[in-house]
Amino acid sequence: MRYGIPSYRLPEDALDREINQVLDLGIELKTKKSLGRDFDLNQLKEQGYDAVFLALGLQESRKIDLEGAQSKDVLWGLDFLSQVSEGKDIALKDRVLVVGGGNVAVDVGLTALREGAREVTLACLESQEEMPANPWEIEMAREEGIRLMPSWGPKRILEEGGKVTGIELVQCAL
SS3 144: coil
Q: Where are the beta strands (DSSP E) in 15-151?
A: 95-99, 119-124, 147-150
What is the reported pTM?
A: 0.76
Which residue segments constitute the domains of the chain, with CATH numbers given?
A: 1-57 (no CATH), 77-171 (3.50.50.60)
How many other C-beta atoms can be found within 10 angstroms of the C-beta atom of residue 19? 14
Q: What is the mean pLDDT of each run of 10 residues along the chain (174 residues)?
A: 74 87 85 86 89 69 83 90 90 94 95 96 95 95 97 94 91 79
